Structures are given as structure tokens and as C-alpha cells.
Amino acid sequence: MMLTALMEFLVPYLGVFWAEALILVGTIVVMSLCIMVFVAFVTYAERKVLGAMQRRQGPMTVGPFGLLQPFADAFKLLSKETIIPTQANKPVFFLAPILILTLALVAWSVIPLGAQMVLADINVGVLFLFAVSSLGVYGVIMAGWASNSKYAFLGGLRSASQMVSYEVSMGLVIVTVILCTGTMNLSGIVMAERPLWMILLLIPMLGVFLISILAETNRPPFDLPEGESELSGGFMVEYSAGTFVLFFLGEYMNMVLMSAITAILFLGGWKVPFGLEFLDFIPGIIWFIAKISLVLFFFFWARATFPRYRYDQLMRLGWKVFLPFSFIWVIIVAGTLIYTNSLPQ
């Protein structure tokens, strides 16, 4: 309603084309700022949750209850000097963190925040998300190579092989959801009817997907690219100040993005959970944020609970456990849908 009123106000002064362009740019800017502010508070929430699990307080000093700590940290890092290695490839060195952050923002263009609340409601939204998330590997390799450091390059290669390994399983998980819903449109996946037996059929793939997004985003217990004992910080070891902030933001934006994808594929997106109609008065975007927060809590809980995997254990889990299991489960889901005559039209 607000966008329609704004459009009617601007058209007499700017014309239809420029009015639409201005509204689109404004929407993108506002959405990007909201995501960045949300990511800032995700870092705060992680430190508070980890503090509670380790019987300490976490951030408490800057602002009430430490709420301004993320902004203080960002100001501190941005005010420091950016040190560039002498032998680094400077254009690629600066392009890598920008690419990672940009891809994390671009993916949000197809994420439906609520009914009719999506920037680009394309019919192949799942493929778009999968393509954009796969491109993040290039930023990691570019960062490791452009630093002209063997430690950074080794960390970049390890991270790239790790991300590729788990993207295969994630792709098969998404295939099972598409089989059950019959659409690659993200809004269509949320709105598709799923009987109880179909939800139970997808629960094992939810477990595979949750573990895979931990590895995809390089989060504990799979934070091997930043293996301090053997890699001195991984692919971003030569980055500092503002460029490091971009990597840091990109990692947490990818966490939020993967949480949003999980909520859309398995948790009903913006819809009221468990079909509780008496809660319909709560806006859909609130439910969507709550489900994202639930998956983010899983990220924090895993970091506080599990020890780091060895690299061979990580690869074995991805290629020898998740990949065969995902293949078999795709066949089981497809066979069940055909046998029960439940394939979506």
C-alpha cells in the first residue's frame, strides 16, 4: 500500500520509468541496511548465547546490556589502517571481500519475507540461490591467491573444497523439497500443502541440510579454513581493518541467508507454525524472523558444544556419508510420492 501511494505521488513529477527505478533503488538500499543492522545484532546475540552457555555475561559495557557493542567493534575496525602485503595482487585483493559481501546481499533479492513481500518473485528462485551461494567459493579462492601467502592460499583451497563438498548434498536436499512441492518458486514452496507424512519424510533431509550449512558457511565445528594452529588464520590471514570487516559481515550474512533458506524449505517460511490459526494476527515477517533466529541459535549452540573436526573427518562425512544418504533418500522420496500418487501437478 505504501509503495503504491509513493508510486502515485512520484509519477506526475518523474514519469513511470524513473519513479519505478527510484522506488526499486530505495527498496534495495533500505533492505540492505536492515539486513546489515540485523547481522550486527546477530553477532551480539551469538556472544550473549555463548556467554550464557559458558557461565559468563558476554558484552555488558557499551550501551544498555551491551547492545551497542557490535557498532563499537565495527567503528574500531574501520578506523584502523588497512595493511596491504607488498607482493599482493591489489585489485584482486580488494575485490575478493567485496564479492563475498555482494553475493550475500544479492541472494536476498529472491527471499520472500512474507506474503507478497519479495523483491524478485522469480520462478527459478531455488536455482538462483544455489548459483549465487556457489559463487562465494570464488571470493575465498581469490582472497587466498591474491594475498601471495602460502598460508592464505592453503586456507583458500581447503575452504573451497569444503564448500564444494557440502553443496552437492545441499543440492540433493533441495531436490527432495522440489519433488514434494512441485515448484522452484520460493513463495510457492512456502505455500505448498504438505501432509504430516510428507513432513516426516523430509525430517532426515532437514538434519543433513542443517549440518551442511554449518560446513558451507565455515562455522564450528567445521571452521577448518581458520584453523589457527596450522594455518595462522586461513584465507583471510593477510586482511585487516575494513577489508576484514567485509569478510566478517559476509560470513554472518551467509549464516542469516542459510537460516532463511532453511526456514523457507522446511519450516514454513512466514506462515504460522503448526497451523495455529488463532495466531494469524501476528504479521508473517515476525514469524519468518523468529524461524531464522531459531536456526541461528542452532549455529551458536553447535559452536559452543562440538569440538572441531579434523579435515579428513570433514571430507569423509561429506562424500562418504551425506552424499550416498542424500542419493538414497531422493530415491525413497520419489518412490513414495509415485506409490501414493502424491506427485504435485
CA nearest neighbour of 99 among 40, 141, 159? 141
CA distance 263 to 270: 8
Residue 313 is placed in which grid cell?
573427518
CA distance 217 to 62: 29
CA distance 33 to 256: 14
CA nearest neighbour of 151 among 218, 87, 227, 100? 227
CA nearest neighbour of 251 among 46, 28, 81, 86? 46
Quote the pLDDT of residue 121: 83
CA distance 258 to 264: 10
pTM metric for this prediction: 0.91
CB-CB contact of 308 with 223 (8 Å): yes
Name 114's bridge partners. 117
Quote the pLDDT of residue 130: 86
pLDDT in tens, 241-273: 888 888 888 889 989 999 999 999 998 888 888
CA distance 121 to 105: 16
CB-CB contact of 217 with 166 (8 Å): no
Name 117's bridge partners. 114
Give the C-alpha distances (Å, rounded to integers) separating 218 from 222, 224, 311, 314, 325: 6, 7, 12, 11, 22
CA distance 263 to 197: 19
Cα 115 to chain centroid, rounded: 21
Q: Which of 114-118's residues contact partners 24+ apart within 8 Å by CB, and which partners?
A: 114/270, 114/283, 114/284, 114/285, 114/288, 115/187, 115/270, 115/284, 117/270, 117/284, 117/285, 118/186, 118/187
Residue 308 is placed in which grid cell?
572441531
CB-CB contact of 180 with 201 (8 Å): yes
CA atoms in the 13 A half-sphere facing the CB of 163: 25
CA distance 159 to 169: 16
In this prediction, the residues of the chain whose per-residue pLDDT falls under 50 are none
Determine the 3-state secondary structure of 117 from DSSP: strand
Residue 266 is placed in which grid cell?
522446511
CA atoms in the 13 A half-sphere facing the CB of 17: 0
Residue 304 is placed in which grid cell?
559452543
CA distance 319 to 165: 7
